[in-house]
A and B are shown apart, each in its own frame.
Chain A
Amino acid sequence: MKTRNIGIAAVLMALLSLFSCVKKKDFDFDRLSSDIEISPTLIFPLLNTKMSVEDFVTVSDVNEAQTVVSYLDDGLAVFNYFDTMTSYIPYPGNPDEDIVTLPIEGEIAISIFEQNASYKDIKLLLKEVAFELFTTTNASIKESEVKNIVITIFDDKSNSVVVKLDDFLFNIEKNKRCQVNIWNITEEFYQIVPHRLHYSFDFVYDKRMISGIESDEIVNKMEGLLDFSLYGYVGGLKLVDTISLQQTMSDLPDIEELNMYLTFKNNFPFSLDVQIYFLDENYTLKDSLFLSEELISSAPVTHECASGISEKEVEVNYGAERAKNLQTARYISLSANLETYKIEEENLVKIFKDNFFGIGMTVKVKESVNLNEFL
């Protein structure tokens, strides 16, 4: 009997201890915070891209013109500009004369950068461009009065670069077709957009009927072709492009710490001073990627060509406060100063289609994440 009681007591004690150890405080779910905070540190490659000339110069349809980049047989990059325009110019002189003097004034618009880019820092001033005229078959230009013309490239606020021709007079024979080609350009222009500039004017002095009245007019069909082989030197040229974010990244988890490891690989024969600015919605500068501009050296240059790759690694560290500036940015502005090799010696360099500028960006970020937002 005693043994039996001991056994029953042991079992009851076991049961009692089992259920008495359920502490209500441990299971008081009314006091359970729904916040689950974690702070993961992620490291991942964000950007790994190579950009060639084609990535900088894109097709544009400004004034129905087209700009493309093509390549010569030797691989040299060529910037092509095409424009076709037909207009009727009232006969400027005596209809009885076979030879008329035709003043030509006009503009061609060249958009060599993306729209919305800012060109105010592009310092291309070309002037005193010389030219010569010659005619095609059946050419009938006589006693052309050749004057120097001024070609100015500037920002016309429509985000295109305009080449303006002024004070250009030549004589054209009646009822004849002639084509005018502009070739040799001055050395100064050659330094920037050298090698070949071909802009042709196709003129026909013709009669046409206007409101039933016969009229002498000149049909001016302009077929422009500008070939800028990228061969020359450049100094102090700043390219600026601003990218709009659809919205800020402020909805993303708070960043406690941000490290960016950038690797630049420059295969162009010119150096780049690069900087990235972060702007708010009022275009107010919030922060910049680098404390000062980072110079990415030119690739080694041999016989006017890039013969290697210049590499540079940059580490950028942000604390939580500066990271917040990035997250509230609405615009990102990319800026690059271009400078060819030994600019002071005016050494010319050639740009080939396989020249590239590579950027690798690895991001290490420590975030504060509340998983409750995902539940």
Chain B
Amino acid sequence: MKKILFAAIVFCFQLTFYGYAQPGNLTLYNMERIPGVNQLNPAKFPKNTTSYFSLPAIDISLSSPLAYSDVIERRSNDSLYVNLQRALNKLHTNNKFSAELNAPILGFGILSKNLYLTFSINARSSFNIAFPKDLLNFIVNGNASYRGKSAYLLPENFGDATVWTEIAIGAGYRINEKWNVGIKPKLIFGVANIHTGSSYLSIFTSESGDMLRVDGVVDVNASAPESGDAIFANPGFSIDLGGIYKIDDHFEVSASVVDLGFISWNKRNNTAYRTSDGVGSYEFYGFEWDDLWSEDGFNEDFLDAIADTLKNMMEIETLENIANYTTMLPVKLYFNGSYRINEMFKVSALYRMKIVNKTTYSAFSVNANYYSGKWFEAAIGNSFTGNSFFNPSVALSVSLGGVFQIFGLADFSNLNAAKAKSLNCQFGVNLLFGAK
């Protein structure tokens, strides 16, 4: 039982730490027959249908600087063990983890001549955390290798987690044979948030080791729902914009910006944690004799004394309901170019930039799409990210009877699941009407 629990912890640890490669649902962008493509560019119309009704679906993106095999190693006798030193060697100086969950609850769309109207309700969440290699190195190897320099344990804006619900009304319009444009305003209802702001933490070790200095700032805002809260307690707004330009019968370029918006977190549910004097800094030169020894002998409470000292150093204040604060949604920019070879094949190249807390996550992918009749679409592709050049992806869409569409997409950063640093899965069911 203990092993199962331990395995679960390690696995959750692993899942939580997916985030840097960030290929995400790049394959979806060039899928022409899945209505959900409209979520990545509101100027895109799904082909072969004039209206659709989507049932609840799931879209999960996880990415990490570490693969499973970077953390858990197999011995020659097939036993497994956690190798943190190996994990450490695989890390970059700065590392980013990310997890996103998008659960479309309800959606439908209608095409009327050149106007394509959509409506959707989505439950969404985003979790992003950045941490430097120093943090794990500090734990695994200690601070002896940091003599004369600082170990940066937590960078500024290192964490952000948001859960929200959105109601979107989109409109795409075909201006002419060459141009499509689209807009999708969204009403946002924030559910919960943690925002680390300018918080950071570093520890400096003097050359001789006779002094440690802790520098840090705590500037955290948190908002959590309480029973009886109105759904509109934390309002927000965002917008998707997109455009498509057909150069000729083969070439097409498009661009979009998605989730450009904010959430205003109401002060009624807010808790803020702050270092009262701004930058907290504490130099430690060792204990006084009386700190270590009490009248009864060795003072075992001295560790508590350290904790109290650090707490006093940081002078962290807990402030309730002080003011509204605003967080930006993780905005994404897409730039795509495609070449249609014939009726059955299309190749494309897509660049996506994701901006979270002033930090950018970039990914580039190439895809090949295959179309068969009006019922089948498949795609394979590969994404290139900052630390991985092989992130294969595959997508399938099957329309049974021309009405019941089942689709699935999967992006892996490696064909060997144990070596994959990212995972994106999306499954859903749509009811298509008015097949063209």
Chain B 401-436 near chain A by CB (<8 Å), digits 1 or 0 = 000000000101011111000000000000000000
Q: Is the CB of B289 within 8 A of A47?
A: yes
Q: Is the CB of B287 within 8 A of A49?
A: yes
Interface residue tally for chain B (C-beta within 8 Å)? 61
A108 / chain B contacts, CB cutoff of 8 Å: none
Does B211 belong to the interface (CB within 8 Å)? yes
Give which listed residue, B285, B380, B417, contacts A14 with CB less than 8 A: B380
User: Which of B55-63, B77-85, B272-280 is near enough to bind chain A?
Assistant: B77-85
Q: Is the CB of B210 within 8 A of A11?
A: no
Q: Is the CB of A7 within 8 A of B144?
A: no
Which of B139, B140, B143, B286 has its CB near the most chain A CB atoms (within 10 A)?
B286
A31 / chain B contacts, CB cutoff of 8 Å: 78-80
Chain A 21-38 near chain B by CB (<8 Å), digits 1 or 0 = 111011111111111101
A157 / chain B contacts, CB cutoff of 8 Å: none
Residue of B nearest to A6 (CB): B370
Does A244 belong to the interface (CB within 8 Å)? yes
Q: Is the CB of B372 within 8 A of A8?
A: yes
A27 / chain B contacts, CB cutoff of 8 Å: 68, 418
Does A360 belong to the interface (CB within 8 Å)? yes
Does B386 belong to the interface (CB within 8 Å)? no
Distance of A261 Cα from B85 Cα, bound (Å): 28
Distance of A238 Cα from B145 Cα, bound (Å): 41
Distance of A148 Cα from B72 Cα, bound (Å): 86
Q: Is the CB of B147 within 8 A of A45?
A: no
Known interface pairs A40-B139, A47-B289, A362-B208; A244-B370 also in contact (CB < 8 Å): no
B255 / chain A contacts, CB cutoff of 8 Å: none
Distance of A105 Cα from B356 Cα, bound (Å): 88
A89 / chain B contacts, CB cutoff of 8 Å: none
Known interface pairs A26-B74, A36-B82, A362-B208; A48-B286 also in contact (CB < 8 Å): yes
Q: Is the CB of B416 within 8 A of A21?
A: yes
Min CB distance B89 to A, Å, is 14
Distance of A17 Cα from B394 Cα, bound (Å): 11
B232 / chain A contacts, CB cutoff of 8 Å: none
Give which listed residue, A17, A41, A245, contacts B141 with CB less than 8 A: A41
A44 / chain B contacts, CB cutoff of 8 Å: 143, 205, 209, 212, 284
A10 / chain B contacts, CB cutoff of 8 Å: 370, 380
Does B325 belong to the interface (CB within 8 Å)? no
Does A209 belong to the interface (CB within 8 Å)? no
Distance of A43 Cα from B284 Cα, bound (Å): 12
Q: Is the CB of B4 within 8 A of A29?
A: yes
Distance of A193 Cα from B411 Cα, bound (Å): 86
Segment 141-178 of B: residues with Cβ below 8 Å from A = 141-145, 147
Min CB distance A351 to B, Å, is 19
Q: Is the CB of A48 within 8 A of B288?
A: yes
Q: Is the CB of A11 within 8 A of B68?
A: no
B209 / chain A contacts, CB cutoff of 8 Å: 43-45, 261, 362, 364
Chain A 341-375 near chain B by CB (<8 Å), digits 1 or 0 = 00000000000000000011110101000001001
Q: Is the CB of B6 within 8 A of A375?
A: yes
Chain B 42-85 near chain A by CB (<8 Å), digits 1 or 0 = 00000000000000000000000000110010100011111011
Q: Is the CB of A11 within 8 A of B396?
A: yes
Min CB distance A116 to B, Å, is 10
B141 / chain A contacts, CB cutoff of 8 Å: 38-41
A316 / chain B contacts, CB cutoff of 8 Å: none
User: Which of B191-199, B241-249, B296-304, B332-340 is near enough to bind chain A?
Assistant: B296-304
Does B9 belong to the interface (CB within 8 Å)? yes
Distance of A46 Cα from B79 Cα, bound (Å): 40
Q: Is the CB of A26 within 8 A of B69?
A: yes
B210 / chain A contacts, CB cutoff of 8 Å: 45, 48, 261, 263, 360, 362
Does B400 belong to the interface (CB within 8 Å)? no
Does A18 belong to the interface (CB within 8 Å)? yes
Known interface pairs A25-B74, A47-B289; A38-B372 also in contact (CB < 8 Å): no
- Can you name 16 A-B residue pairings with CB atoms under 8 Å? A3-B344, A7-B372, A15-B394, A22-B418, A25-B74, A31-B78, A32-B80, A33-B79, A33-B82, A34-B2, A40-B141, A44-B209, A45-B209, A48-B285, A48-B288, A263-B210
Interface residue ranges, A against B (CB under 8 Å): 3-4, 7-8, 10-11, 14-15, 17-18, 21-23, 25-36, 38-49, 51, 55, 243-246, 261, 263, 359-362, 364, 366, 372, 375
Question: 5 tightest CB-CB pairs across the interface, nearest first?
Answer: A48-B286, A40-B142, A29-B7, A45-B286, A43-B209
A-B contact sample (7 more), CB < 8 A, given A29-B3, A32-B80 = A4-B344, A14-B380, A14-B394, A26-B72, A32-B72, A45-B209, A48-B210
